[in-house]
Structure 1
Amino acid sequence: MSIDTKKLVLEVLSNLANDYDIDEFKTADENTKIYTGFGGKLDSLGMVNLVAELEDFFSQKLDKEVVLADDKMMSAKNSPLKDVGSLISYIDSKIKEL
């Protein structure tokens, strides 16, 4: 099954934009910062919600369990949560592992 990861990530961010009142997520692109530690908009709780939303969303789309939360994702140095582009690349790599 072919999947447009970028489109789906932007859709999830757009949905979260209303929950967290973050206008930048409504018009996000690959350079949009996500986590506050990297100059983004979401705090730690927001990040947990984002990861849970993404896992659920992609699991439904692929009809397979997609687990994104791991040591790499939680690494402050190389976190794929710093911006949308790195998150898309990370999700693509996780999907390839399925």
Structure 2
Amino acid sequence: MMGVSSVKEDVKAVIVVGFAGLVAGVCSMAIGEFVSVCTQRDVQIAQMKREKRKGSSKSDENDEKLPNPVQAALASALAFAIGAVLPLLAAAL
């Protein structure tokens, strides 16, 4: 946004660029978080399977504690969107 605003004085162009950055950042953060949590979940499931083979009782307790990748992705996207809206509001005002 700063680069476009330094070259062009049109507020509409600055807002369009800011909105494009917001959408790109939200998508990037959500996808990255989803992949990260999926990997973490896979590791935890593999660990639980190993514990079941060994006969440990810890695996029954961990079934409820598995992370949800979709929930983590939505939380990350929302946090980024809140942070990215602030420069957009400043440009609009």
What TM-score comes out, normalization by structure 1 length? 0.30
Please identify the structure whose Cα radius of gyration is greater.
Answer: 2
Higher relative helix content = 2
Relative contact order higher in (CA < 8 Å, ≥ 6 apart): 2
